[in-house]
Amino acid sequence: MTQPKIRIRGLKKAFGEKKVLDGVDLDVMPGTGMVVIGGSGSGKSVLIKSIIGLVTPDAGVIEIDGEDVLKAPRGRARELRAQIGMLFQNGALFDSLPVWENVTFGLLAQKKIRRAAARGKAIEVLAQVGLAENVAALSPSELSGGMQKRVALARAIASEPAIMFFDEPTTGLDPIMGAVIDELIVDCVKRLGSTSIAITHDMASAQRIGDQAAMLYEGRVCWSGKAEELMTSTDPVVDQFTHGRPHGPIKMALRR
Amino acid sequence: MNFILNLVAAIGAVVLGTVEFVGELGLFAISGVSHIFRPPYYPRLIGRSLMEIGFYSLPVVALTALFTGMVLALQSYTGFSRFNAESAIASIVVLSVTRELGPVLAGLMVSGRAGAAMAAELGTMRVTDQIDALSTLSTDPMKYLVAPRLLAGVIAMPLLVCIADILGVMGGFLVSTEKLGFTPDTYLISTFSHLRTEDVVSGLIKAAVFGFVISLMGSFNGYRSKGGAQGVGAATTSAVVTASILILALDYILTQVLFVK
């Protein structure tokens, strides 16, 4: 049987009294696009930040290629995590650097490329996300929201990572630009043969970029299945969330 | 009884909060300093921080030092003329500026300008996930963002204080010769006859320590800011206030340590 690229067992994380993750189990098979959905504050971002090492979980196992990154020596954990590329929700481009330096930042940091060759490499990667050569010299603040997302995607794929994370990739974009970004994500992931985890509230986006889907609710994965089954699921929690029904098992705090 | 319990609880919370803050700050400082000495090094970022802290702070520090020297000469004259001790003005100005006012006033000015900018920049990077993004791109944020600033602070402040010392003395010289009737030769001879190397060196040691404190507080407060624009504003205020208080407190401690009878 094929070993999962990412295997998570019993992952727990609390902030003070609030249990954000309360025993998350999740398998992501190699080359699979996993979409994680869930309400605001359900722990989606904490989940991927735990995998990438930005948040330290309280308990549980996170395996990448069968190795537990939480128990691995620091250097080995860093090596395992170096194969992860991430697209942040708001792009998180470095304001102080031009676009080309943003795109090749990881390559330069890992010494995979020399500074003299970085600009050419950036132009090459920018072309893969549909951006023209002249964008390379611009500052991130000179770009529209959609272009910033594309540059952030270019930065994430520049080092050709084996694993990619997408944190709400279509948030803040109009539906057409959202669909364009989704298409680029699918293209890039397929071309690189990467394993991906995307977290999103956007059901159309979830079905476009995901092969598999999982729903986080009350700190656990309450449902998992094929992404195409999301909208037809009979699970009451998934049904309420995907169709945006105000009434159902998910209780939202309303003040009247 | 409840009042006493609440009072004890409040005092306890303040003490615990202070201990936690000092502990976090200490660990942050140790981590930042250790990254200065470990590769990779970022000379371009150190250069950029030197420009931010040193070069761009030069106008405000220069003006502060110049006017302080001028005021000091005038005020000293007012007091010393009552004891027929006007001849001591030059030595008072030069000793005050080099040992005390140069480093302290430059420190307060740089804290307000560069320390605030540092906290705002790092705070914005924190709340827009740029610091997290650095981690995902195989770059240690402490090494990339904090270490160059700490080093630049320690280098830039003594250079600024050298210039502040010269301009402060020049301010006193201008007022004394143009307004108080001193001859230039007399004033300069009096200035340099009372000035010793350790006076200048003690001021430069203070400057290096203040530079470290300014960069540390700017980086620390910015690095751990949270909550969007309001959080960045709070981090900026806290960076300036804590750095200013630390500069004044450390000034006394360093003066005591470097005190020569």
What's the start-to-end Cα distance of chain A, in Å?
53
pLDDT of residue B9: 93
Q: What is the pLDDT of residues A2-47, one digit of tens each?
A: 899 999 999 999 998 899 999 999 999 999 999 999 988 889 999 9
Judged against a pLDDT cut of 90, whether residue A246 lies above it is answered with no
Find which of B49, B52, B129, B137 to mutate to test the A interface (most A CBs within 10 Å of its CB).
B137
Q: What is the pLDDT of residue B146?
A: 97
Tell me if residue A228 falls in helix, strand or coil. Answer: helix
On whether the CB atoms of residues B119 and B238 are closer than 8 A, the answer is yes
CA distance A100 to chain B (A): 15
Which residue among A54, A88, A106 places its CB closest to the CB of B138?
A106
- A82 interaction partners in chain B (CB closer than 8 Å): 138
Cis peptide before B59 (omega within 30 of 0): no
Helix (H) or strand (E) holding A243: helix A236-243
Question: Per-residue confidence at B98, pLDDT binned at 50, 70, 90?
Answer: very high
Tell me whether residues B132 and A49 touch, CB distance under 8 A.
yes
Query: What is the model's pTM?
Result: 0.90
Which of A96, A139, A148 is most worth mutating to test chain B (most B CB atoms within 10 A of its CB)? Answer: A96
pLDDT of residue A97 exceeding 60, the answer is: yes
For B185-223, what is each residue's pLDDT tens digit?
999 999 999 899 999 999 999 999 999 999 999 999 999
Which residues of chain B make contact with A153, given a CB cutoff of 8 A?
Answer: none
Beta bridge partners of A66: none
Residue A248 has pLDDT above 90, yes or no: no
Cβ within 8 Å, pair B136-A95: no
DSSP output for B68-130: HHHHHHHHHHHHHGGGT-GGGHHHHHHHHIIIIIHHHHHHHHHIIIIIHHHHHHHHHHHHTTH
CATH 3.40.50.300 residue ranges for chain A:
1-83+161-256
Question: DSSP of A82-101, one letter per residue?
Answer: TTEEEE-TT----TTS-HHH
Sheet hosting strand A59-64, strand order edge to edge: A18-28, A6-15, A59-64, A67-68
pLDDT of residue B138: 87
Q: φ and ψ at B132, to 5 degrees?
A: -65, -40
Question: From the CB of residue B81, how many other CB atoms can be counted at a distance below 10 Å?
Answer: 12
Nearest to B216 by CA among B54, B18, B32: B32
Q: Return d(Cα B49, Cα B141) in angstroms, integer.
A: 15
Q: Convert the pLDDT of each residue in A220-239 to its tens digit.
A: 999 999 999 989 888 989 99
What would the mean pLDDT of B223-237 be, rounded to a whole number? 93
Cβ proximity of A166 and A106 under 8 Å: no
Interchain CB contact of A95 with B (< 8 Å): yes
Contact A252, A244 (CB under 8 A): no
- Residues from chain B contacting residue A86 (CB–CB below 8 Å): 133, 136
Q: Is the pLDDT of residue B118 over 70?
A: yes
Lowest mean pLDDT among A192-196, A248-252, B102-106: A248-252
> Quick check: B138 and B36 in contact, CB under 8 A?
no
How is residue A16 annotated by DSSP?
T
Least confident of A198-212, A242-256, B124-138: A242-256
Answer yes or no: do B133 and A78 touch at CB < 8 A. no
Helices of type H across chain B: 2-37, 43-50, 58-80, 89-96, 102-110, 116-127, 130-136, 141, 147-178, 184-194, 197-223, 229-257
- The residue with tokens 């040691």 is B205
Of B129, B138, B139, the CB nearest to A92: B129
Give tens-digit pLDDT for A111-147. Answer: 889 999 999 999 999 999 999 999 999 999 999 988 9
Please indicate whether, in this complex, the C-beta atoms of A92 and B128 are within 8 angstroms of each other: yes
Q: Does position A250 have pLDDT exceeding 70, yes or no?
A: yes
Contacts (Cβ under 8 Å, ≥6 apart) of B105: B61, B64, B65, B68, B164
Say if B139 is an interface residue toward chain A (CB within 8 Å).
yes
Spatial separation of the C-alpha atoms in residues A48 and A167, rounded to whole Å: 8
CA distances for B170 relative to A42, B106, B179, angstroms: 64, 16, 14
Question: Which residue does chain A place closest to B40, by CA atoms?
Answer: A109
**Interface predicted TM-score (ipTM):** 0.89
Residue type, A236: P
Band of residue B86 on the pLDDT scale cut at 50, 70, 90: confident
Instruction: Quote the CA–CA distance of A118 and A104 in Å, as a whole number.
Output: 6
Q: Per this entry, what is the length of chain A?
A: 256
Q: At what angle do helices B147-178 and B89-96 cross, to 10 degrees?
A: 170
Are A170 and A182 in contact by the 8 Å Cβ rule? The answer is yes
Average pLDDT over residues A177-206: 91
Judged by CB atoms closer than 8 Å, whether chains meet at A90 and B128 is answered as yes
Q: Note whether A51 and A63 are within 8 A (CB).
A: no
CATH of A1-83+161-256, one of 3.40.47.10, 3.40.50.300, 3.30.1600.10, 1.10.1270.20: 3.40.50.300
**Band of pLDDT at residue A252, cut at 50, 70 and 90:** low
Tell me if A90 and B129 make a contact (CB, 8 A cut-off).
Answer: yes
* Plot region of A43 (φ>0 → left; ψ -120 to 50 → alpha; else → beta): left
